[in-house]
């Protein structure tokens, strides 16, 4: 190896003749020029990197400074653990609603009082009403301050809020007072419309929110009024409050309670509860009896209508004593229904409005020696050995025995 290197260094021409490649060594001047270019390029890149770094740092500091001092943060509501409001010499009523009245995502309190004034700046005389009068108030749920107050004519009959769900109505609370029906906006307390009470019997709660029946693209409401001899159904426009069609009268039927139910097939039924049974009347049939034009969106349930009465049009739902009729889910119009009486508890299927099961409660709350039900069979035991059975509302009435 050493001999070959020496020959190459001493005889460059000979190596060329031999066909080997000659390696040309760059001169010192060329090396100096190349190194200067590399140093200048590296120096320029370093300056650019430094500029980009400081520019990024400046932008970050600017954003932090803007959000810290210039742009105000949203004011968070200050929650009080407890708050108390006193209304001297005021009468209260059986009405209390929790709604979002100031759009702060905190539930506020709505109620009605009867007094000469609700605050030093709001009295019956200021509103031109005889004293004492009614005041509907909305109090902030976080601090208890008054959001708005609305004076109304006395006397108070009933009130219901929460009627705006899934509708296009511009009002949220409906009050029956004096001889008037008043619709109120829960956000401002303004009266959207106020009309005289419909003629006939005085209506009762709950107010039923139904689909649009008069073609104005606003959901309407149904009022139910009853006495011992008859039941009246009044259809009201959700937009203006005026009556739609004529009053529907069901003779010889007095109701204790009523609900609006939505079946699995898409049919609406007004359920009427009386002491001895629970019946349903289809909404499309109510609209027809009120002499309205056919409503395209109302469907008929053929299975239920096969059992309807030829005279009244009522569909029997639960033919037994019913002390109360409850939903298993308050916010679901199609949930199962629970009929409770002194003798039994029964569950009605919400999708078909047919009886799912019934359970005799006399065996549990009866006297000593009463029969106890276990797994569907009766047995006689002393009271000390009788076992209570928990009830499953969704399927079989007995979870264990």
Q: What is the pLDDT of residue 41?
A: 58
Residues 122 and 369: their CA atoms lie apart, in Å, by 64
| Paired tokens of 228 | 């011992």
> In terms of DSSP H, where are the helices of 162-278?
none
Per the listing, tokens 């943060």 go with: 73
Phi, psi of 27 (to 5 degrees): -75, 170
> In terms of DSSP H, where are the helices of 306-376?
362-365
Q: Write the DSSP symbol of residue 383.
A: G
Over the Cα atoms of the chain, what is R_g? 40
Q: What is the pLDDT of residue 88?
A: 84
Phi, psi of 232 (to 5 degrees): -115, 140
Q: What is the pLDDT of residue 25?
A: 56
Q: How many CB atoms sit inside 10 A of residue 69's CB?
A: 8
CA 363 to chain centre: 39
Residue 102 and residue 187 in contact, taking contact as beta carbons nearer than 8 Å: yes
Residue 308 and residue 315 in contact, taking contact as beta carbons nearer than 8 Å: yes
Element at 374 (helix H, strand E) = strand 371-374
Phi, psi of 351 (to 5 degrees): -80, -30
Among left, alpha and beta (phi > 0; psi -120 to 50; other), residue 166 is left
Q: What is the pLDDT of residue 26?
A: 56
Q: What is the pLDDT of residue 342?
A: 81
Q: Over the stretch 113-149, which tens digit does the pLDDT of each residue have?
A: 999 999 888 999 999 999 999 999 999 998 899 999 9
Residues 160 and 182: their CA atoms lie apart, in Å, by 11
Q: What is the pLDDT of residue 43?
A: 63
Residue 176 and residue 129 in contact, taking contact as beta carbons nearer than 8 Å: no
Residues 156 and 154: their CA atoms lie apart, in Å, by 6
Phi, psi of 286 (to 5 degrees): -65, -45
Q: Over the stretch 219-249, which tens digit does the pLDDT of each residue have?
A: 999 999 998 889 999 999 999 999 999 999 9
User: What is the chain's pLDDT, residue by residue, as a tens digit (401 residues)?
Assistant: 444 444 444 454 444 445 444 445 555 555 455 555 555 555 666 778 888 888 888 888 888 877 776 666 666 656 667 889 999 889 999 999 999 998 888 899 999 999 999 988 899 999 999 999 999 999 999 889 999 999 999 999 999 998 765 567 889 999 999 999 999 999 999 999 999 999 888 999 999 999 999 998 899 999 999 988 899 999 999 999 999 999 999 877 788 899 999 998 889 999 999 877 899 999 999 999 999 998 888 999 989 999 999 888 999 998 877 778 889 988 788 899 998 888 889 999 999 999 999 888 776 555 444 333 333 333 333 333 333 334 333 333 333 33
Q: What is the pLDDT of residue 385?
A: 37
Put the strands of the sheet holding 156-161 in their side by side order. 156-161, 173-177, 180-184, 191-196
Beta bridge partners of 210: 220
Q: How many CB atoms sit inside 10 A of residue 281's CB?
A: 25
The domain 88-196 is placed in CATH, from the list 3.40.50.720, 2.40.10.480, 3.40.50.2300, 3.30.450.20, at 2.40.10.480
133-139 and 108-115 beta bridge pairing = antiparallel
**Domain definitions of the chain by residue range:** 88-196, 198-317, 363-401
pTM of the model: 0.71
């Amino acid at each position: 190896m050493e001999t070959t290197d020496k020959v190459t260094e001493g005889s460059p021409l000979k190596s060329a003749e031999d066909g080997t490649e000659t390696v040309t060594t760059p001169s010192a001047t060329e090396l100096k020029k190349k190194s200067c270019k590399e140093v200048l390029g590296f120096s320029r890149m370093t300056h650019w990197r430094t500029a980009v770094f400081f520019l990024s740092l400046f932008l970050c500091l600017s954003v932090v400074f803007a959000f810290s001092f210039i742009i105000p943060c949203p004011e968070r509501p200050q929650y009080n653990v407890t708050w108390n409001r006193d209304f001297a010499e005021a009468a209260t009523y059986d009405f209390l609603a929790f709604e979002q009245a100031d759009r702060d995502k905190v539930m506020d309190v709505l109620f009605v009082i009867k007094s000469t004034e609700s605050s030093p700046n709001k009295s019956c005389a200021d509103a031109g009403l005889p004293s004492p009068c009614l005041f509907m108030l909305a109090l902030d749920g976080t601090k208890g301050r008054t959001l708005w107050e609305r004076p109304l004519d006395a006397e108070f009959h009933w009130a219901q809020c929460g009627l705006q769900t899934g509708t296009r109505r511009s009002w949220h609370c409906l009050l029956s007072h004096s001889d008037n029906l008043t619709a109120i906006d829960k956000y401002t307390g303004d009266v959207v419309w106020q009309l005289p009470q419909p003629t006939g019997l005085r209506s009762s709660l709950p107010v039923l929110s139904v689909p649009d029946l008069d073609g104005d693209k606003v959901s309407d409401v149904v009022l139910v009024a009853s006495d011992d001899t008859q039941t009246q159904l009044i259809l009201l426009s959700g937009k203006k409050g005026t009556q739609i069609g004529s009053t529907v009268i069901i003779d010889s039927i007095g109701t204790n309670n009523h609900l609006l139910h939505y079946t699995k097939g898409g049919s609406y039924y007004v359920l009427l509860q009386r002491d001895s049974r629970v019946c349903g009347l289809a909404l499309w049939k109510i609209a027809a009896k009120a002499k309205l034009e056919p409503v395209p969106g109302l469907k008929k349930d053929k299975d239920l209508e096969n059992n309807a009465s030829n005279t009244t049009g009522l569909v029997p739902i639960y033919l037994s004593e019913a002390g109360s009729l409850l939903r298993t889910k308050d916010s679901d119009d199609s949930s199962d229904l629970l009929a409770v009486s002194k003798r039994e508890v029964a569950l009605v299927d919400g999708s078909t409005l047919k009886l799912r099961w019934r359970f005799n409660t006399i065996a549990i709350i009866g006297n000593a020696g009463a029969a106890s039900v276990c797994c569907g069979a009766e047995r006689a035991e002393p009271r000390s050995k009788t076992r209570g059975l928990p009830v499953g509302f969704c399927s079989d009435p007995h979870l264990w025995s």
